[in-house]
Amino acid sequence: MTDYAIDARGLVKRYGAITAVDGLDLAVPAGTIYALLGPNGAGKTTTINILTTLATPTEGEARVAGHDVRREAARVRTRIGVTFQEMVLDQDLTGREVLDIHGRLYRLGGALRRRRIAELAELVQLGDALDRRVRGYSGGMRRRLELARGLMTDPEVLFLDEPTQGLDPQNRVGIWSYLRALNRERGMTLLLTTHYMDEAEELASQVGIVDRGRLVAEGAPEALVSALGADVIRVRGSGERGHFAACARALPFVTRVDSPADSELVMVYVDSGSRRLAEVVGAASGNGFAVEDVTVARPSLGDVFLHHTGRALRD
Ligand SMILES: Nc1ncnc2c1ncn2[C@@H]1O[C@H](COP(=O)(O)OP(=O)(O)OP(=O)(O)O)[C@@H](O)[C@H]1O
Ligand SMILES: [Mg+2]
């Protein structure tokens, strides 16, 4: 029997006429990293808010670390950590004060707080900055402090809402390595949200692609991507796009074809991009689609999103 750190069924959250989460099921085995990937407004933060007991679901139920988020909210809270998308850090406090206050909130003793603060400052490499006011921190330092704050209670399950939003590549890679270490060395379960495909691909063993409050696809990143085809030939042009797409679909080596609305692109998934390129381009020009540009690549999670929603992940 799998031990699920997060087990949610049929979650719905409505705000008046807006349905932020629309029937979401989520099962995250303990000790794994799961990423919710989706565009702005998909319902990622709302899902995190429900799972962390900050919001009550309109329908459905969820257990986190073995406890019901509705009936045993207080127990859930003692087992989890959260890092928020919006910065909630008090600018006038030092990093050390932020961590210490958080520890007091959870009734950790003084010795334990001091030990955790020392460990975490080391983990997220805050060093001397720990005794400076947050006001003077860079974006990367704030993110690292926010992560350390989420870890003060040594949680079993850590929720991270857009952990690297707005960070430069170097800081992002730094955060990724802390998260991997927490998962590997402490067996911590991580649920993160992101709209960066590379982040989901890099960190998560399972990805849930979310759009308009629903999971549109779920699985291991490699499996989701390779289900589309080995390579994707992206053909940009003008003319008989639908006709070309239909003809491409009939070619024996083509696994899938997407021709999203509001785009000049036709995505042709094939068994081998380099071998099939000439034939695909030939099929385009032979069917009234004037080719302007062609690229060959491995499919990405962005292609998976587009395949399931008909829209690009980047909006
Ligand atoms: N408290 C609220 N009151 C009303 N509507 C809300 C509230 N919270 C969220 N929504 C709406 O619910 C939908 C989902 O929002 P949510 O913040 O969960 O999306 P998200 O996936 O986290 O987006 P982003 O990538 O921009 O952070 C949006 O349409 C949002 O406007
Ligand atoms: Mg959000």
Q: For atom 26 of ligand 1, which residue has the closest CA? A: 40
Centre of ligand 2 from the C-alpha of residue 47, in Å? 9
| For residue 315, pLDDT beyond 60 | no
pLDDT, average across residues 148-176: 92
In the structure encoding, which two tokens stand for residue 169, read together? 């590549």
CA of 254 to the centre of ligand 2 (A): 36
Mean pLDDT of 265-282: 96
Question: Is any ligand 1 atom within 6 A of the Cβ of residue 170?
Answer: no
Q: Mind listing the pLDDT tens digit for each residue in 6-38?
A: 999 999 999 999 999 999 999 999 999 999 999
Question: Tokens 């074809």 label which residue?
Answer: 257
Which residues pair with residue 64 across a beta bridge? 6, 67
Q: How far apart are CA 48 and CA 35, in angstroms?
A: 11
Q: What's the mean per-residue pLDDT of the chain?
A: 94
Per-residue pLDDT, 77: 95
Q: Return the amino acid letter for 243.
A: H
Nearby residues of 125 by Cβ (< 8 Å), 6 or more positions away? 144, 174
Instruction: Provide DSSP, 35-101.
Output: EEE--TTSSHHHHHHHHTTSS--SEEEEEETTEETTTTHHHHHHHEEEE-SS----TTSBHHHHHHH
How many whole angstroms separate alpha carbon 104 and alpha carbon 6?
26
Residue owning the nearest CA to atom 27 of ligand 1 = 40
pLDDT digits (tens, 9 = 90+) for 293-306: 999 999 999 999 99
- CA 164, CA 159: separation in Å to the nearest integer? 13
What is the residue with the minimal CA distance to atom 1 of ligand 1? 15
The Å distance, Cα 210 to ligand 1 centre, comes to: 13
Contact 190, 160 (CB under 8 A): yes
Please give the distance, rounded to the nearest whole angstrom, from the Cα atom of residue 47 to the centre of ligand 1: 9
Q: Where in the chain is the domain with CATH 3.40.50.300?
A: 4-220
Closest alpha carbon to 208 in 48, 2, 12, 14: 48
Mean pLDDT of 55-74: 97
**254 or 2: whose pLDDT is higher?**
254
Q: What are the distances in angstroms from CA 114 to CA 29, 47, 66, 94?
A: 32, 33, 29, 14
C-alpha atoms less than 13 angstroms from C-alpha of 210 in its C-beta half-sphere: 33
Residue with tokens 């030092």: 94
Q: Is residue 234 within 8 Å of 294, Cβ to Cβ?
A: yes
Q: Under CATH, which number does the domain 4-220 receive?
A: 3.40.50.300
Q: Which fold has domain 229-298?
A: Alpha-Beta Plaits (3.30.70)
What distance in angstroms lies between residue 53's CA and the mean position of ligand 1's atoms?
16
Separation between Cα atoms, residue 296 and residue 303, nearest integer Å: 13
What are the distances in angstroms from CA 124 to CA 14, 34, 117, 119, 143?
A: 37, 21, 11, 9, 9
- Checking if the pLDDT of 2 tops 80, the result is no
Per residue in 91-112, pLDDT tens? Answer: 899 999 999 999 999 999 999 9
- Per-residue pLDDT tens for 206-250? 999 999 999 999 999 999 999 999 999 999 999 999 999 999 999
Whether 208 lines ligand 1, by a CB cut-off of 6 Å, is no
Cβ–ligand 1 contact at 153 (below 6 Å):
no
pTM of the predicted model, to two decimals? 0.92
pLDDT at 167 over 70: yes
15 lines ligand 1 (CB under 6 A): yes
For 65, the token pair is: 């670390």
Distance CA 44, CA 209 (A): 10
Residue 162 clears pLDDT 90, i.e. is over it: yes
Surface-to-core class of residue 54, CB atoms within 10 Å of its CB (0-12 exposed, 13-18 middle, 19+ buried): middle
Instruction: Fill in the DSSP letter of residue 18.
Output: E
Which protein residue's CA is at the shortest distance from atom 17 of ligand 1? 45
Mutate to test the pocket of ligand 1, among 12, 45, 159, 216 (most ligand atoms within 8 A of CB): 45
Residue 1: per-residue pLDDT: 59
> What is the pLDDT averaged over residues 170-192?
94
